[in-house]
Amino acid sequence: MTITVLGATGATGRLVVQQLLSLGHPVLGAVRKPEKAAKSAVGGIEFVAFDLADPGRRFEEVFAATEIVVNAAATRTMTKKQADLIDRQGVIAAIDAAASAGVKRWIQVSMMGSGDPARLPRYLRATGQAKDAADAHLAESGMTWTVIRPPWLTDGAATGRITVGEQVPEGSLTRADLAAVAVASLDIAATHNRLFEVTGGGRPVTESLMTLG
Number of H-type helices and E-type strands within the chain: 8, 11
pLDDT of residue 41: 55
pLDDT of residue 75: 78
pLDDT of residue 110: 97
pLDDT of residue 57: 73
Give 162's strand partners.
Answer: 200, 203
Decide: 165 and 196 in contact? Cβ < 8 Å.
Answer: yes
Domain ranges of the chain: 3-210
pLDDT of residue 34: 84
pLDDT of residue 213: 80
Give 46's strand partners.
Answer: 28
Residues (pLDDT < 50) of the chain are: none
For the entire predicted model, the pTM comes to 0.95
pLDDT of residue 37: 73
Topology at the third CATH level for domain 3-210: Rossmann fold (3.40.50)
Give 27's strand partners.
Answer: 3
